[in-house]
Amino acid sequence: MTRIVGIDLGTTNSLIAYMDGQTPRVIAGRNGRGMVPSVVAMTDNGLIVGDPAKEHLVRNPERTIYSVKRFMGKSLEDVSEELIYFPYKLQEQGGVIRIQIGDKTYSPPQISAMILRELKRRAEEHLGEDITKAVITVPAYFNDSQRQATKDAGLIAGLDVLRIINEPTAASLAYGLQKKTQGTIAVYDLGGGTFDISILKLKDGIFEVLATNGNTHLGGDDFDRTLVNLLLHDIRDQHGCSLDQYPDQMQALRLEAERAKIRLSDEQKTMVALELPSGHGAFRREITRDQLEGLTTALVEQTLGPCRLALKDAGLQPAQIDEVVLVGGSTRMPLVRRCVQDLFGKVPHSELNPDEVVALGAAVQADILSGGTQDMLLLDVTPLSLGIETMGGVVSPLIRRNTTIPASAKEMFTTYVDGQTSVDIHILQGERELARDNRSLARFQLKVPPLPAGVPRIEVMFLIDANGILHVTARDVRTGLTQSVEVKPSYGLSDEEVERMIGESFTFAAEDLKARQLIEARTEAEAIIKATEKALGLGGHLIDSAETTAIKAALAALETARSGDEHREIRARIADLEKATHHLAEVLMDTSLKEALQNKKLSELP
Amino acid sequence: MTMDGTQKTPTKRSELQMARSMCWHCQSEVTGEYFCEQCVKVQPLSKEMDYFTCLGLPRLLTIDLGALEAKFYELSRTFHPDFYQRKTDSEQNISLGNSAMLNTAYRTLKDPIQRAEYLLRLEAGSAKDIRTSPPADLFEEILTLQEDLEAYRSASDQDPATVARLRDKLATDRELLEQRQREMDRRLFELFTRWDALHSRQSRTDPASPDFQKDATAVLKEMREILSNRTYLCNIVNDLTATTA
C-alpha cells in the first residue's frame, strides 16, 4: 500500500504530516521545526524554500515570493487593492496571475508546487520512501478555481492529489480523533490569509458539516498591514522618510510588525525597532496591545458576519453549539478569542496546536483514504451556490451552498433557432442574482444536432465531487449518446499549461538541489569556522606559530569560499581546514579543554 | 415499503428490479441490496428509485427524522467515495453517483416543504404552479406592500424621519406576511396528517375505491395550491428583506 501524506498548504506556513500507527504526526525539518514558511526565493544560485528563503525577504525582496496562496485561482483585478503591499511584479495571462521574477514569469500554482516539493522532500527524507500521493487542505470557502489551482500545484510538484479537503473540517477530524467528541461544534479558523467558519455535527464517527462560510481574503496578513500602515505614517512624520521607495525596508518593517503582533498576544506592550535607510537614523516606538486591538477590531468583526450566516444556514442558535474550536495562528490573538467567546457564549477550545491541527487532520483523512481508519467519515459541503447564466444575465441556481458533496444536478437544454448547432453555457459560483455579480467559473459549448428549434434535448449533468470540484457531462436524450464537454476555466491554467509546468518543474528541481547543497555547505562552513576560532582561543598557546599561521590561512580560504557560489569549493576548503586543525584538536583532546573539541564535533553533526 | 398510494407503482417497481437485475461487472443476477453477491462489486442505485425507497421510509409526509438520519449515515458509510479510493474507476464512479443521489434524497426528505413538493411530484407529476400574480386571499396585503415599497424606494434620499416611518411600515407589512406564512404552514401540516392517515387506513379502504381516490386527490390539490402560494409569499418576503437591508 502506497503511503498517503497530509499537507497543509498555508498562506504563511505549510506543514506535512503522516499517520504513525494511530497517531497523526507532523514531520519536522532538520531545524526541528514542523512549519515550513511558505516563502520561495529565486536567487542567482537557484531556488530556496522555507526558513532560509525567509532571510531573502529583506535581502532580495523583488525575487522572494510570500503569501502566494492569496493569488491562487485569482485574476489580477481580484487582488488589485493589495498590489501595493507586494514587492514583486504581477501580470495576468489567460485569467491567471503571473509573478514576474527577472525575465521569467511563474503562475501561483508553480510557486505553490515549489513549497510542496520542499515538503515532499522532507517527508521522503524522514520516512525513507518515495512520496507520490497526498491529501492537501484548502480553506473551506475556496471556490472551484482556487481548488483546481491547488490540485494543479500538486500535479506540478509530482504529487497525485487524492483529495482536497477543507481546513476547518480537517481540524475537526484531528480533534474528533483525540477527544471522541459528540454533538455540534463550530470550527473558527483564522489563518495568515483566509478565514473560515464551519458548523459540524459529530455523531458515531460521522462528521457532518451543516454549514460553512468565510472570507478567502482575511487573515493575519491584513492585521500586519494595519500595523505597517501606522508605522509607515509615524516614520514619515518623525523621520521625513517614505519607505515606499525601499522594498527591502518595507519587508523588514512588515516582518517587524508581524513579530510585534505576535508578541502582543502575550504581552501588554512591545517595542518596534527598524534601521532606516542611510541618513534617516533608526526608528523606535512602543505599541500596546490596546493600540493593536484598536487597529484590528474592525477586521476581527468582519469574521462575525460569516459566523452568523453559517449558524443561520445550519438552523442553529449560538447557544446550541456544544464546542467551539480555534484553528490558525491568528486565533492566538486575545482579541479574536474574546470576540469568538462573546458570539458563542462559551470559552473556545485550543488544546491542539492551532498551527498543526489542520495538517494532522489531513493525515487522518489520508489514512481514511488508504483504508486505515474506517470508523470516521467526513461529509462536507460545497461553500458556494453553483448556477448557470440564463436569459437576461440572471443566474439559475443548480446546487445551493451548503449542499452535502458529492452533489449533482441535471438540467435540460434545447435550441431557440431552427438548425442551431450549439448552445453556450456559462457556469457561475456565488450567491447573487445576476451573473455579473458572481464568480465566473467556466464556459463550455454544447454541440447540438441541427434540428427544428426546441426539438433537441440535451441533458447536462453537473457533479461536484468530494473535493468540491465541478465535473460536467452531457447526454443527447434522443440518441442516448454522451458527449465529452470541454470546459474552459475562467480563471485557471489549461491542461496543456499544467503539463508544460510539470516538465519545467524538473529543471527547478535541479536548481533546487544545487541551491540546497550550497546552503548546507555554507551552514557547515559557518559552524566549523566558529568552532575553529573557539579552539584557537582556547588552545592557541599550545601549538607553534607555524601551525597557527597554517590554520589561519585555511580559515581565510574557507571564508572566501563561503562567500562564493560553489558548494564543491566550500567542501574542499572545509576538508583543508579540518586537516590543518587536526593536530590542534588532538592537543586539546589531551588537555582538560577537550570539551571545546566536542563542541566542534557536535557542530559538525547534521 | 408498504403504503404506496397509486396503482402504477407496482409496474414501476418491477421495472426497477429489471434495471438492476444484472451485475455490471460479472453479469450474474444481483440478489444483494447494494452489492453483487457473486463478485462483491457495488451496484449503481437505480435512477428510477424514489427517495423514500432509497432511505427505507414509507411514502408518508410525517417521518421519523432520527430514523432518516440513521439510514443516511449508514448508506453514506456504504457509498462514500472515501471508501472507494483504492477500487477501480468504474466502482469509484458508481460510488460517486450513488453518494450524490443519496445526498439529494436526504436533503429533500429532511425538509418538510421539500418533502411535500417531492411527494407531489411523485403522486401528481408536478409540485406546484409558478404564480405570476398574487393569490386571491393575499391580494390586499400584497397591494399595500407594493405601494409601501414604492414609496420607500423613492424616499430613500429624503429626510431621515420619512425613511424611518416607511421602514417601520414595511416591517409591519412583513410581520403580517410572515404571519400568513405561518398559517399556511399550519394548514400544510394538517394536510400532511390527513394524507398519512388516509394511507394508513389503506388496509381497510381499497386504494382503487372512488372514496379513497377522491380524498387523496383533494388533499394533493390543496397542498399544491398552498405550496404555490407559499413560494410566492417567500419570494415577496425575501425581496422585502433585501430592499430594507
Domains of chain B by residue range: 8-110, 136-244
Query: DSSP letters along A176-242, please?
Result: HHHH---EEEEEEEE-SS-EEEEEEEEETTEEEEEEEEEETT-SHHHHHHHHHHHHHHHHHHHH---
Cβ proximity of A329 and A192 under 8 Å:
yes
C-alpha cell at A525: 562552513
CA dihedral A464, A303, A264, A56 (to 10 degrees): 40
B81: CB partners within 8 A, 6+ apart: A406, A465, A466, B92, B95, B96, B99
- The average pLDDT across A284-309 equals 94
- Whether B136-244 and B8-110 are alike in CATH topology: the answer is no
Q: Does position B211 have pLDDT exceeding 80, yes or no?
A: no
Predicted confidence (pLDDT) per residue in B112-125, tens digit: 999 999 998 888 77
Mutate to test the interface with B, among A408, A431, A459 (most CBs of B within 10 A): A408
A458: CB partners within 8 A, 6+ apart: A412, A413, A414, A423, A446, A448, A474, A475, A476, A477
Q: Does position A592 have pLDDT exceeding 60, yes or no?
A: no
Nearest to A377 among B76, B97, B106 (CB): B76
Query: Worst-scoring range by mean pLDDT, A357-361, A456-460, A588-592, B108-112?
Result: A588-592
A365 neighbourhood in chain B, CB within 8 Å: 82
Alpha helices in A385-494 (DSSP H): none
CA distance A49 to chain B (A): 32
- The average pLDDT across A393-418 equals 90
Q: What is the H or E stretch that residue A596 is in?
A: helix A594-604
Pick one of 1.20.144, 1.20.140, 1.20.120, 2.40.170 as the CATH number of B136-244: 1.20.120
**DSSP type of residue A348:** P
Q: What is the mean pLDDT of chain B?
A: 80
Strand positions, DSSP E, A434-522: 439-447, 458-464, 470-476, 482-483, 488-489
Cβ proximity of A303 and A190 under 8 Å:
yes
Q: Does position B75 have pLDDT exceeding 60, yes or no?
A: yes
- Which residue's entry shows cell 467519515? A377
A405 neighbourhood in chain B, CB within 8 Å: 103
The predicted pLDDT at position B13 comes to: 42
B131-135's contacts with Cβ under 8 Å and 24+ in sequence apart are: B131/B228, B131/B229, B131/B231, B131/B232, B134/B232, B135/B228, B135/B229, B135/B232
Closest chain B residue to the Cα of A371, Cα to Cα:
B83
Chain B positions contacting chain A at CB under 8 Å are: 73, 76-77, 80-83, 85-86, 96-97, 99-101, 103-104, 106-107
Cβ proximity of A11 and A26 under 8 Å:
no
pTM across the whole model? 0.82
- Note whether A162 contacts B83, CB cutoff 8 Å: no
Q: Does position B20 have pLDDT exceeding 80, yes or no?
A: no
Predicted confidence (pLDDT) per residue in A85-141, tens digit: 888 888 898 889 999 988 888 999 999 999 999 999 999 999 999 999 999 999 999
Query: Worst-scoring range by mean pLDDT, A155-164, A535-544, A596-605?
Result: A596-605
CA angle B123, B225, B234 (to 5 degrees): 115
Domains in chain A, CATH or no CATH each: 4-218+302-379 (3.30.420.40), 220-299 (3.90.640.10), 384-493 (2.60.34.10), 508-604 (1.20.1270.10)
Q: Just list the catalytic residues of A.
A: 8, 69, 167, 189
Query: DSSP letters along A292-311, please?
Result: HHHHHHHHHHTTHHHHHHHH
CA distance A107 to A91: 10
CA distance A221 to A252: 14
Predicted confidence (pLDDT) per residue in A303-323, tens digit: 999 999 999 999 999 999 999
Predicted confidence (pLDDT) per residue in A490-545, tens digit: 888 888 888 888 777 777 666 666 777 787 788 788 888 888 888 888 788 888 88
- The average pLDDT across B185-200 equals 88
Query: Worst-scoring range by mean pLDDT, A75-89, A265-279, A498-512?
Result: A498-512
Q: What is the H or E stretch that residue A316 is in?
A: none
Alpha helices in A99-193 (DSSP H): 108-127, 144-156, 167-179
Cβ proximity of A584 and A535 under 8 Å:
yes
Query: Worst-scoring range by mean pLDDT, A150-159, A175-184, B114-123?
Result: A175-184
- Note whether A369 contacts B76, CB cutoff 8 Å: no
Phi, psi of A340 (to 5 degrees): -65, -45
- The average pLDDT across B237-245 equals 77
Predicted confidence (pLDDT) per residue in A209-235, tens digit: 999 999 988 999 999 999 999 999 999
The predicted pLDDT at position B1 comes to: 29
Phi, psi of B204 (to 5 degrees): -95, -40
Nearest to A377 among B80, B100, B103 (CB): B80
Q: Does position B5 have pLDDT exceeding 50, yes or no?
A: no
Reported as a pLDDT band with limits 50, 70 and 90, residue B209 is confident
The larger pLDDT score, comparing residue A163 to residue B20, is at A163
How far is the CA of A189 from the CAs of A1, A61, A140, A379, A409, in angstroms?
Answer: 33, 29, 10, 18, 30
Closest CA to A594 of A582, A605, A585: A585
Nearest to B100 among A162, A378, A408 (CB): A408
% residues pLDDT > 90 (chain B): 29
Mutate to test the interface with B, among A206, A210, A471 (most CBs of B within 10 A): A206
Other Cβ atoms less than 10 A from the Cβ of A469: the count is 17
- Note whether B96 contacts A379, CB cutoff 8 Å: no
Closest chain B residue to the Cα of A404, Cα to Cα:
B103
Q: What is the mean pLDDT of chain A?
A: 88
CA distance A95 to A80: 14
CA distance B179 to chain A (A): 20
CA distance A3 to chain B (A): 12
Query: Worst-scoring range by mean pLDDT, A68-82, A536-550, B177-191?
Result: A536-550
% residues pLDDT > 90 (chain A): 50
Q: Which fold has domain B8-110?
A: Helix Hairpins (1.10.287)
How far is the CA of A414 from the CAs of A262, A408, A472, in angstroms?
Answer: 59, 20, 17
Q: How many CB pairs under 8 A join A and B?
A: 52
Cβ proximity of A360 and A26 under 8 Å:
yes
Nearest to A406 among B83, B99, B107 (CB): B99
The predicted pLDDT at position B2 comes to: 30
Cβ proximity of A542 and A588 under 8 Å:
yes
Closest CA to A137 of A176, A113, A164: A164
Query: DSSP letters along chain B, please?
Result: -----SSHHHHHHHHHHHHTSB-TTT-PBP-SSSB-TTT--B-PPPTT--HHHHTT--S-SS--HHHHHHHHHHHHHHH-GGGGTTS-HHHHHHHHHHHHHHHHHHHHHHSHHHHHHHHHHHHHS-S----SS--GGGHHHHHHHHHHHHHHHHTTTS-HHHHHHHHHHHHHHHHHHHHHHHHHHHHHHHHHHHHHHHHHGGGTS-TTSHHHHHHHHHHHHHHHHHHHHHHHHHHHHHHHHHHH-
- The average pLDDT across B83-88 equals 91
Reported as a pLDDT band with limits 50, 70 and 90, residue B3 is very low
Reported as a pLDDT band with limits 50, 70 and 90, residue A277 is confident
Cβ proximity of A320 and A326 under 8 Å:
no
